[in-house]
Amino acid sequence: MIGQSPLRIFIAHAMLLLGIVVVAFPIYYTFVASTQTLQTILKPPLPMLPGDQFWNNYGEALFGGVGRMGGVSVGRLLLNTTIMALGIAVGKIFISILSAYAIVFFRFPMRMVFFWLIFITLMLPVEVRILPTYKVMVELGLIDTYAGLIIPLIASATATLLFRQFFMTIPGELLEAARVDGAGPWRFFFDILLPLSRTNIAALFVILFIYGWTQYLWPLLVTNSNDMNTIVIALRKMVSFADADTQWHLVMVTAMLAIVPPILVVVVMQRWFVRGLVESEK
Amino acid sequence: MFPNKILPYLLVAPQLAITLAFFYWPAGQALYQSMLRQDPFGLKSKFVWFANFRKVLADPAYLNSLKVTVVFSLSTAIVAMGVALLLAVMAEKVVRGRGLYRTLLIWPYAVAPAIAGMLWLFLFNPSIGSLAYLLRSLGIAWDPLLNGTQAMILLVSAAAWKQISYNFLFFVAGLQAVPKTLIEAAAIDGAGETKRFWTIVFPLLAPTTFFLLVVNTVYALFDTFGIVHAVTGGGPGKSTETLVYKVYNDGFVNLILGDSAAQSVILMVIVIALTAIQFRYVERRVHYG
């Protein structure tokens, strides 16, 4: 081990602290703004310490804010976003683990064709097929529904590849032993494969939950009614920078409510998050 | 292997149904429509082969948005990766508090790009942003709502800020994989710290760096639609209109279907190229059997 001079260590700490300040500042500033009165926000510079309007602002946004976002409460927006994020995370894991199971543990005609069909979807993000996908949604009557927000996003090449890779590391002997003991495909799946995949599922869940929570283009396309907006889209609608009427203190509260849940998920499940990120991108 | 005949088809059916309905069918439609041209009333359409592509590629507005996209993507990737690499190198040096630093650096990952954009705009908004106030009191004429270059700087800052955590985690993992013996040998030979970094560590990080370059480019191309839409709406003028924003705008707002479809197909080609590069050069460590 090479010795590090105390000065260099000190510089390293200083740089890291500076990095944290840069990274944290926009969010801290938003929090500070969310505890000020509208008048204070409109007269920059903003104080660097939280104000005394925390209860007022959060109370008004959560319970009195009806009408400010097209008659939709923040609770409803959070509910929509949570349903979408959970639906996408669970749905992607569910259909990916099934297809990976079929592709790795069964031999059937067209197996590789299916694999490639799933794989190629990597190259077809929503952005390259916006209009025709929107048309399909209209024809299927999926506009302004939870199904419309969730189902088209749950096909997942990445998750399928990840499960496939993991399944291929499971020794063939394990499968043979299970079969000798009389386990059928379902038994093998539920009693052996699923418990072994627990960490992978947890890791993937964190990544996919964040993915679902932060979606923008898709909810923008498939929701017309304010009732079905996600909180990110609703926030965009609340903000009009040219407009003097923007209720900045409430916008800031809504922004905090939109960013805190996914941040909590990342921080609390950090171990799985880091693992999932590094693994799923390999 | 299980010998079942029907079960595997049932297992892949849900995924396949979704990919066919929401991926392949629309992508095929985009391809087909990119070769159609509608009359101004939307009543008739005519098959025109590649005329839409010729029109789009000759359109100064499209070439402008191509330029905007290249500037935006490269700047975002370079800023986000540079800052992350610096922080990761620093984090490698410290022993105490490393876990805490990591926790405090990773959470912007969870912030939606559009919200990141709105927060930065709030900070730098000419009328109410505290940092805009600071800039003005330093004598800088700051107005990202009127000045295209400043709008671009704002977008790049927000997009790069959001991506630092991701790059940081990968650089930390990459740095940990650099053999310590090599660095020690170089130190014994008298190479100073800066020299060790540029001649040993940085070249060994090349696979990570290249991988991140591809990922960051894809991020800047696609995932940042929310930032552009929420912060500048492509403006002022067309100075921040990226390719994805233009597809959306032409298709949904201006309803020029043929052009929008042709642009979609061009984007598709870009994604395919990037994915091919990623798998050809980056995926060597993974073995697809």
Instruction: Tell me which of A66-75, A103-112, A272-281 is least confident.
Output: A66-75
Rounded CA-CA distance B112/A267 in Å is 16
| pLDDT > 60? residue B125 | yes
DSSP A161: H
pLDDT surpassing 50 at residue B28: yes
Phi, psi of A98 (to 5 degrees): -65, -45
Q: Which residue has the higher pLDDT, A160 or A63?
A: A160
Its pTM stands at 0.87
Q: How confident is the model at residue B5 (pLDDT cuts 50, 70, 90)?
A: confident
Q: Which two tokens stand for residue A242?
A: 């040219």
Contacts with A, B 25-54, CB within 8 Å: 25-30, 33
A chain contacts of residue B268, beta-carbon cutoff 8 Å: 123-124, 128-129
Nearest Cβ partner of A118 from B19, B122, B230?
B19
The reply to whether A218 touches chain B by the CB within 8 Å rule is: no
Q: Which residue of B has its CA nearest to A217?
A: B226
**pLDDT above 70 for A68:** no
- Spatial separation of the C-alpha atoms in residues B76 and B71, rounded to whole Å: 8
- For B251-260, b/e burial (b = at least 16 CB within 10 A) is beeeebbbbb
CA dihedral B261, B263, B267, B269 (to 10 degrees): 80
Nearest residue in chain B measured CA to CA from A218:
B226
Which of B1, B7, B12 would best serve as a mutation to test chain A binding (most A beta carbons within 10 A)?
B12
The nearest CA of chain A is from the CA of B197 a distance in Å of: 13
C-alpha distances in angstroms, A179 versus A104, A106, A187, A190?
Answer: 16, 13, 10, 14
Closest to B92 measured CA to CA, from B209, B174, B162, B213: B174
Q: What distances in angstroms separate CA A106 from CA A3, A102, A161, B8, one per listed residue?
A: 55, 5, 16, 6
Model confidence pLDDT, tens digit, residues B167-215: 998 898 888 888 888 888 888 888 788 888 888 888 888 888 888 888 8
Question: What is the interface pTM, i.e. ipTM, of the complex?
Answer: 0.84
In angstroms, the CA A172 to CA B151 distance is 57
The DSSP element (H or E) to which A122 belongs, if any, is none
Question: Would you call B114 and A236 a contact, using CB atoms and an 8 Å cutoff?
Answer: yes
